[in-house]
Amino acid sequence: MIQLNEGNVLLKPSQRKQLLSWLRRSIKYTQRMTRCFMSISMNRCGKQVEVIATIWSGKSPTVFHAKSSDWRDATRHLIHRLSGYLHDQLIRGAMA
């Protein structure tokens, strides 16, 4: 399951749809894993946009941060790290 909290970043509906399409692979990984919940929050701090993703898949949550002047750059960087982490967790779970 995924939760998107835009905070004080104004996204158009088309931009929200684009963001969710970028997250498609990560969403598939979280659906394959049991008891996995992902929360993404976006906040604007001055001219910077900070994107924070928190994943609860076990005992303690894992947090990823990305900061950039453009929301697209920050989310791309974060999603790249998320998909790598979730893929690794999925493979480790299959091996165990």
Q: Where are the domains of the chain?
A: 2-95
Helix (H, G, I), strand (E, B) or coil at 33: coil
Whole-number pLDDT of residue 96: 62
Of 63, 67, 91, nearest to 77 by C-alpha is 67
**Rounded to an integer, what distance in angstroms lies between the CA atom of residue 86 and that of residue 26?**
7
Predicted pLDDT at 4: 83
- Residue 49 confidence (pLDDT): 93
Nearest CA-CA partner of 55 in 39, 68, 66:
39
What span, in angstroms and rounded, lies between the C-alpha atoms of 17 and 65? 21
CATH topology for the 2-95 domain: Double Stranded RNA Binding Domain (3.30.160)
pLDDT at 11: 86
The pLDDT value given to residue 67 = 95
Residue type, 82: L
Predicted local confidence at residue 95, as pLDDT? 66
| Residues of the chain under the 70 pLDDT cut | 94-96
